[in-house]
Amino acid sequence: MQKISNLPKSKKVILKTRPNGNPVITDFDIIEEIASAPDDGEILIEVQALGIGAWIRTTLNEKAFHGATPIGGVLPSMGIGKVLISKSKKFSEGDIVSGPLSAQSYTTLNSDFFEKVANPEIDPFTQIGVLGVSTGLTSYFGIYDVGKVKKNDIVLISGAAGGVGMIVCQLAKIKGAKVIGVAGGKDKCDVLINEIGIDAAIDYKNQNVDKELKIHAENGIDIFFDNVGGEILDIALDNLKERARVVICGAISQYSHHNSIEGPSLYLRLAEKYAVMEGFTVMHFEHRYKEAYEELLDLYQKGLLKAPMHIEEGIENFPLALQKLFTGGNTGKLIVKI
């Protein structure tokens, strides 16, 4: 391999200690190293933006579905970047790509891990917040294929002011459903009503969720799209209609204490209501990513999809952004601008 000079310095966020509960800034360190020169089949990418998702917290445990981050390892993250050096036939220098860039300012990996961004004229924040695998595509398959939303359905969404929640709200409205969102705080509920355009919002921090749900859906709900788990999942199960669908997308309330998961105690409501509860990850629909991307892009270009975002500046603030995700410090998709 030809030696490459003047490689950039890359700042990296590494795991210092495994969090005890919700992640805090002191669980991580920032280090700086010279970026690795790409070998045959690899590309060197300048990272532009990184998405902060709740799934990252699961990788900080010793065992994890998405793969455990070792102590001293770089935190995982999906993002958007620009190819600086290509040793692969798949990409040219200057291409904008998406994929598992990790929490660092420069990434060198095999090109097979990345996809060329089809519409590079769209800013990286929209790419992550609306069209991203862990936001738009997850929402699309979750509410359309798993939830099978249809006109006049009554849909309840937990974590409705988050990156996935806001997209699900809008996709359900586009299908003609009545949408009720659950979020933490009046400000988030106001955004859901006034900007996203849902029919009702419940502030779980200051309102009785069960009581409010019975006001907004007195005859029960057809779909519950769950991003949170825990107590809100039980409340939803207790308010199901006949043949309701419960979609398990995430459970952010449980990620920080995997050894003492609070599962649903009212699961027998599924039998009583002839209802179904189904979990999924977006990877199960990988063969249809292109279809979903094109439909989401069309909706966005027509002005039918909005995505409020919370952007933190600099890789040094990646730990702060992750902490905010678990303390309710964001409205919309959390993104780190590099």
Q: What is the pLDDT of residues 108-159, one digit of tens each?
A: 999 999 999 999 999 999 999 999 999 999 999 999 999 999 999 999 999 9
Three-state secondary structure readout of the chain: CCCCCCCCEEEEEEECCCCCCCCCHHHEEEEEEECCCCCCCEEEEEEEEEECCCHHHHCCCCCCCCCCCCCCCECCCCEEEEEEEECCCCCCCCCEEEECCCCECEEEEEHHHCEECCCCCCCHHHHHHCCCHHHHHHHHHHHHHHCCCCCCCEEEEECCCEHHHHHHHHHHHHCCCEEEEEECCHHHHHHHHHHHCCCEEEECCCCCHHHHHHHHCCCCEEEEEECCCCHHHHHHHCCEEEEEEEEECCCCCCCCCHHHCCCCCCCCHHHHCCCEEEECCHHHHHHHHHHHHHHHHHHHHCCCCCCCEEEEECHHHHHHHHHHHHHCCCCEEEEEEC
Indicate whether 163 and 115 sit together in one domain: no
Q: How many domains does the chain have?
A: 2
Q: What is the pLDDT of residue 6?
A: 84
Q: What is the mean pLDDT of residues 191-199?
A: 97
Indicate whether 97 and 209 sit together in one domain: no
Indicate whether 123 and 152 sit together in one domain: no
Q: What is the pLDDT of residue 259?
A: 64
Indicate whether 138 and 247 sit together in one domain: yes
Indicate whether 329 and 251 sit together in one domain: no
Indicate whether 109 and 146 sit together in one domain: no
CATH at residue 251 = 3.40.50.720
State how far the Cα of 241 lies from the Cα of 176, in Å rounded to an integer.
18
Q: Specify if 119 maps to a domain.
A: yes
- In angstroms, the first-to-last Cα distance of the chain is 29
Q: Specify if 292 maps to a domain.
A: no
Q: What is the pLDDT of residue 4?
A: 60
Choosing from 267, 283, 299, the residue where a domain stops is 283
State how far the Cα of 267 lies from the Cα of 260, in Å rounded to an integer.
18
The answer, yes or no, to whether residue 288 has pLDDT greater than 70, is yes
Q: Specify if 294 maps to a domain.
A: no
Bridge partner residues of 247 (DSSP): 225, 278
Indicate whether 107 and 147 sit together in one domain: no
CATH at residue 15 = 3.90.180.10
Q: What is the pLDDT of residue 1?
A: 42
- Structural domain containing residue 240: 133-283
Q: Specify if 147 maps to a domain.
A: yes
Q: What is the mean pLDDT of residues 304-328?
A: 94
Indicate whether 171 and 250 sit together in one domain: yes
Backbone angles phi, psi at 141, to 5 degrees: -70, -35
Indicate whether 220 and 323 sit together in one domain: no
Residue with token string 């958007």: 80
Residue with token string 């027998």: 268
Tens of pLDDT, residues 57-102: 999 988 866 679 999 999 999 999 999 999 999 999 999 999 999 9
Indicate whether 162 and 278 sit together in one domain: yes
Indicate whether 125 and 139 sit together in one domain: no
Q: Specify if 1 maps to a domain.
A: no
The answer, yes or no, to whether residue 18 has pLDDT greater than 50, is yes
Q: What is the pLDDT of residue 260?
A: 62
Q: Specify if 2 maps to a domain.
A: no
pTM: 0.91
Indicate whether 85 and 142 sit together in one domain: no
